[in-house]
Amino acid sequence: MIPLRCVLFDLDGTLLDTLPDLAFALNAVRAEEGLEPLPLALIRPTVSHGARGMVRLGFGEDQDETTLQRRAERLIGIYSQHLAERTCLFDGVAEVLKAIQSQGQLWGVVTNKRRDLTWPLLKQLGLDKKAACVVCGDEVPRPKPHPEALWLACQRAQVEPTECVYVGDAQRDIEAGRCAGMRTLVALYGYLAEDSDPQSWGADGLVESPYQILAWLKTWTA
């Protein structure tokens, strides 16, 4: 087994609990159109599908492309003004990051989120200077599930894909990690839909809390 040198995380639903601020933005758009707010539990599984996926939930599938895009842009506009008001690290993530660093390993972020949202969010949470690499969805021609973003992360962190593990809460994360040649873990504590079947995604392991990531890291660094 090649020793592990770097842990790469998906952002929304894996490293950060961004649901409250994203839900606030969606419900703000709904309020502008005279609609009642949706509960967090209903919005939660759509966060991984981006602004357009959230708008489809909030306003239904029967939207023309122009209206859908307008609402998605409005959601992003509102969200950009409230990036870290309610967002926080998932319970246990801070300890995991500290343990990774204390072991002399690196950690980074690979997300489909845009740069103009990702970097201000990381900065507000004090994570921007701690990550060995950050790769956003608009930095590569083909975002996840294509492995290109993960390969770019390896270049920036100066590690090989075989020396990395990618942790994510969506099937596209696991597909990207496997195609990139990395080990993979499913964050079951993230934004999975009830009908998801993560056992079938082919990951190396499934973790019910961030703390369980450390147990897997020990098996790969011994």
Catalytic residues: 10, 12
List, in sequence order, every beta strand (DSSP E) within the chain.
6-9, 16-17, 88-89, 106-110, 133-135, 164-168, 183-187, 205-207
Place of tokens 């300890």: 95
Tokens of 90: 């998932």
Distances (CA, A) of 193 to 38, 44, 170, 198: 16, 8, 9, 10
Helices 93-102 and 211-221: crossing angle in degrees, nearest 10, is 20
Please tell me the total number of residues recorded for the chain in this structure: 222
Whole-angstrom distance, CA of residue 209 vs CA of residue 195: 20
What b/e sequence results for 98-128 when a residue is b if at least 16 CB atoms lie within 10 Å of its CB, and e otherwise?
ebbeeeebbbbbbbbbbeebbeebbeebebe
